Amino acid sequence: MIRVALLLADRPLRISGAAQIILLVEFAMLGFRSRFSSKHSGKRWRSSDRWRIWRLLTLFLTVAAVWWFGFRPIVTEQGWVEVRERFALCGDRSSGAEREAGCVVDGDTVVIGFGANRRRIRFIGYDTPELDGGCQTERGLAKVARLQLHDWLAEGSFEWDGAQDPPYDQYGRELREVRRTDSDKSSEYLAATMIKSGLASDNGWGTLPQDWCR
């Protein structure tokens, strides 16, 4: 049960914290019922057994709440780092563009560095149309999404998660979530902005790939 609880707490589920706590409690109840049903098969539960179950459940719920509302936000925030690089459009030969440290490949991918230090970063939480898509509509939207990302990055510094040890996809790209935090501590997440603009689709659990040619 503890392993299940930790998995639920660490997975990027698209549900609220309260809902995740409820799920954790449900898993705990299943475990307690299974344990005590096998132990007391054919017998009536004594009041002491019920009291023991509620004590264990209360302890589990308290630990889960402390983790979710107390330690988890601290651990999560520690992975965010500020990015100040300026980004051009990849392949842009205009004056000064080639001197920028990074460039925008498409609506969800950027490149930073040169030569052996070159890094490809895939922004997660959304998918944009492909520049080599299957129809003219998709290719046109991909160009607009690329410009949209370029404009968003040009607004100033931002943050991405993963610090110095991000996960990678099968193409060797770093996978990072991106946001910009305002002075009032509110955050604008790049994925939400791109999806709201209609130039990207959600790629969370249970979602189907967007057909941009329909």
What domains can you pick out in the chain, each with its CATH number? 2-77 (no CATH), 82-202 (2.40.50.90)
Spatial contact of 179 and 189, defined as CB atoms under 8 Å apart: yes
CA distance 171 to 175: 11
Rounded to an integer, the average pLDDT of 135-161 is 95
Q: What is the pLDDT of residues 82-117, one digit of tens each?
A: 988 889 999 887 745 555 678 999 999 999 988 888
Spatial contact of 128 and 194, defined as CB atoms under 8 Å apart: yes
Q: Indicate the average pLDDT of the chain.
A: 77
CA distance 210 to 127: 8
Residue found by looking up tokens 């955050």 in the block: 187
Sign of CA dihedral 71, 74, 75, 77: positive
* Confidence (pLDDT) at 1: 46
* Confidence (pLDDT) at 12: 42
pTM of the model as a whole: 0.63
Task: Give the DSSP letter of residue 113.
Answer: S
* Confidence (pLDDT) at 44: 56
Residues in the chain: 214
Residue found by looking up tokens 């490809």 in the block: 120
Task: Give the tokens for residue 171.
Answer: 């193409």
Spatial contact of 96 and 119, defined as CB atoms under 8 Å apart: no
CA distance 98 to 93: 7
